[in-house]
A = this chain, B = another copy of it.
Amino acid sequence: MSQARLMDGTGLARRIVEETAKRAADLTERTGVAPCLATVLVGEDPASVTYVRMKQNRSRKAGIESRHVALPAGTTTNELIGTLTALSADPTVHGILLQHPMGHHIDERAAFEAIAPEKDVDGVTLASFSAMSFGLPGFASCTPGGIMRLLDEYDVDPAGKRAVVVGRSAILGKPVGMLLLGRNATVTYCHSRTTDLSAVVREADIVVAAVGRPRLIRGEDIKPGAVVVDAGYNPGNIGDVDFDGARERASLITPVPGGVGPMTIATLLAQTVEAATRQTGV
């Protein structure tokens, strides 16, 4: 059997960022306002520091100003909420990104909820989840939003297809399932308590792996012709799917890296400019 076609997230993300940069420049020219993304980081976890720096660099290249708030590791939930509430009220800030995971002493849900929904360009608030679940106006969580955009780009219409989402996190598994359901897929959620994961995955026309366990999905469990989206991040650039095995059976597959990853940041930037456009009201 021939190998699956690769879904090129890097190339699509580049085009989205170019479009976003044009929209940002246009907004600035028309209104004098530069879109601004505030990034908030608690503590100095090296991986988080790297992620935030990358997001700031990408923002800058897209004509988005970034404002960084670095809080000490000992910051309390209330202090963090105070910071996020102030940024939510600040008219010069259009989008807010709270880098997570945070320390265990922080109530993450309470912190996320302090972000105004219209500035929730990372799609982490409950309001954004509801919007994704019911097709209401709002911002998508960035990885799920990026996955849907990638499917569209490759003309994958989820309607009537069986989609299996492996993982049920608040910002990845659950929302991507709701987005696929909104596009009329028959959606199944699997997770650590699923009894026979292989059997469920074998039914899938579209598999979204979003659980963070290296090569959990075996190539032999991919239905011939299925579309495979690997949103897993594991050390050593290993996805949640056995890429080599899955590639022999799938029709389309995202590489790791270069598949879902770049789409996440592209979605963040596009949503920030969209937020600035809406808030500027022109």
Judged by a CB distance under 8 angstroms, whether A200 is at the interface is yes
Q: Out of B109, B134, B161, B187, which one reaches A136, CB within 8 Å?
A: B109
Within 8 A of B (CB), among A140-186: 159-162, 168, 170, 174, 178, 181, 184, 186
Q: Out of B126, B186, B195, which one reaches A126, CB within 8 Å?
A: B126
Q: Out of B130, B160, B161, B187, which one reaches A188, CB within 8 Å?
A: B187
Total interface residues on A, CB under 8 Å, equals: 29
Question: In the complex, what residues of B have CB within 8 A of residue A191's CB?
Answer: 181, 184, 186
Judged by a CB distance under 8 angstroms, whether A104 is at the interface is no
Whether B136 lies near A129 (C-beta < 8 A) is no
Question: In the complex, what residues of B have CB within 8 A of residue A184's CB?
Answer: 191, 193
Whether B186 lies near A187 (C-beta < 8 A) is no
* Cα separation A190 to B190 with both chains bound (whole Å): 15
Residue of B nearest to A161 (CB): B195
Question: In the complex, what residues of B have CB within 8 A of residue A174's CB?
Answer: 133-134, 178, 181
Question: In the complex, what residues of B have CB within 8 A of residue A127's CB?
Answer: 126, 130
For A117-137 the 0/1 string (1 means CB < 8 A from B) is: 000000000110110011010
For A53-81 the 0/1 string (1 means CB < 8 A from B) is: 00000000000000000000000000000
Residue of B nearest to A174 (CB): B133
* Cα separation A186 to B127 with both chains bound (whole Å): 25
* Cα separation A203 to B188 with both chains bound (whole Å): 12
For A200-211 the 0/1 string (1 means CB < 8 A from B) is: 100100000000
- What 18 additional pairs, Cβ within 8 angstroms, besides A174-B178, A186-B191? A109-B136, A126-B126, A126-B130, A129-B134, A130-B130, A133-B133, A134-B170, A160-B194, A160-B195, A162-B195, A174-B181, A181-B189, A184-B191, A186-B189, A186-B190, A186-B193, A186-B195, A186-B200
A/B interface sample: 16 pairs, CB < 8 A: A109-B134, A126-B130, A129-B133, A130-B130, A133-B133, A134-B170, A160-B194, A162-B195, A174-B181, A181-B191, A184-B191, A186-B189, A186-B190, A186-B200, A188-B188, A188-B189
